[in-house]
Amino acid sequence: MMGPAHSLSGAAAWLGVGAAAAALDHPMPWPVVVVGALICAGAALAPDLDQKSATISRAFGPLSHALCGVIDKLSTVVYNATRSHGERRRAGGHRTLTHTWPWAVFIGAGFSTAAVVWDRWAVLIILFIHMVLAVEGLLWRMARVSSDVLVWLLGATSAWILAEVLDQPGNGSHWLFTGEGQEYLWLGLPIVVGALVHNIGDALTISGCPILWPIPIAGKRWYPLGTPRFMRFRAGAWVEHKVLMPAFMVLGGVGSLVALGVVG
């Protein structure tokens, strides 16, 4: 799928998590619902770090473009080093390492650890990165025609305001993990969810997605999981814009109402 659909699916997924948490009698404070949805929307772009033409490669100018090049090379090395005998050698790493569940868990755990160890500054950086990505994904038309600096300023301002809100007692810094020193440990969860939702979205397209690597399937470690062939579509096709994105909006709206306790 393309960037906007990925981001929208990420936001909808977190709102669904919020609805599930409410149903399990562990509701999210409203700032966790909002912040988590935005982080998840941004994180749903992150697996495309292995592609220089992706939305995320433009998000932070030369820095993100260079990072995409590094991740592409790393993904290629990992793929070629771990491929099965029946899998052809590759010269590019798109839809390999960063499109797997271990990568999603690794990134989420890394950000959670950073939030716990470095506290407020790490939280601000995490929020800034994902707010910028959320803008690039959800407001992509406006982001494309505006200055990168304006998008970064919006991301920085949003990060600062949201961090201040979360810091208030009862607003979510201790949601889910209540132990001493575990503030913001939950921040890795929407990042993991966003990455996994991205992969599931790509599994709906023609190429499929090797989500379960390194578990071998049909003799292949990089087996591209997906729906039945007749149900798949090309990224950016009409089904993405006319069917999936409206569905994500409806599901996200319903999820938000349940998560926020508006409906039971």
How far is it, in rounded angstroms, from Cα 222 to Cα 203?
13
Residue 139: inside a domain:
yes
Give me the pLDDT at residue 203, please.
94
Establish if 230 belongs to a structural domain.
Answer: no
Q: Could you read off the pLDDT of 141-169 as tens digits, one per residue?
A: 665 656 778 889 999 999 999 999 999 98
**Total of domains in the chain:** 1
Does any domain span residue 6? Answer: yes
Residue 125 vs residue 147, higher pLDDT: 125
**Burial class of 202 by CB neighbour count within 10 A (0 to 12, 13 to 18, 19+):** buried
Q: Are 83 and 221 in contact (CB under 8 A)?
A: yes
Instruction: Collect all residues with Cβ–Cβ distance below 8 Å to 187 and sequence separation of at least 6.
Output: 39, 111, 112, 115, 123, 126
* Cα angle 179-35-40, degrees, rounded to a multiple of 5: 100
Residue 158 lies in a domain: yes
- Per-residue pLDDT averaged across 234-240, rounded? 83
Confidence of residue 81 (pLDDT cuts 50, 70, 90): very high
Q: Does residue 210 belong to any structural domain of this protein?
A: no
Per-residue pLDDT tens over the stretch 166-216: 999 888 888 888 777 788 999 999 999 999 999 999 999 998 999 999 999
Output the pLDDT for position 144: 61
Segments forming the whole domain that contains residue 55: 1-200+249-258
Does residue 219 fall inside a structural domain? Answer: no
Question: Of the ranges 48-57, 134-143, 192-201, which one carries the lowest mean pLDDT score?
Answer: 134-143
The answer to whether residue 3 scores a pLDDT higher than 70 is yes
Specify if 232 maps to a domain. no
Collapse the DSSP code of 237 into the 3-class scheme (helix H, G, I; strand E, B; otherwise coil) and give the result: coil
Burial class of residue 16 (count of CB atoms within 10 Å of its CB; 0-12, 13-18, 19+): buried
> In angstroms, rounded to a whole number, what is the distance separating the alpha carbons of residues 219 and 215?
10
Task: Give domain status of residue 237, yes or no.
Answer: no
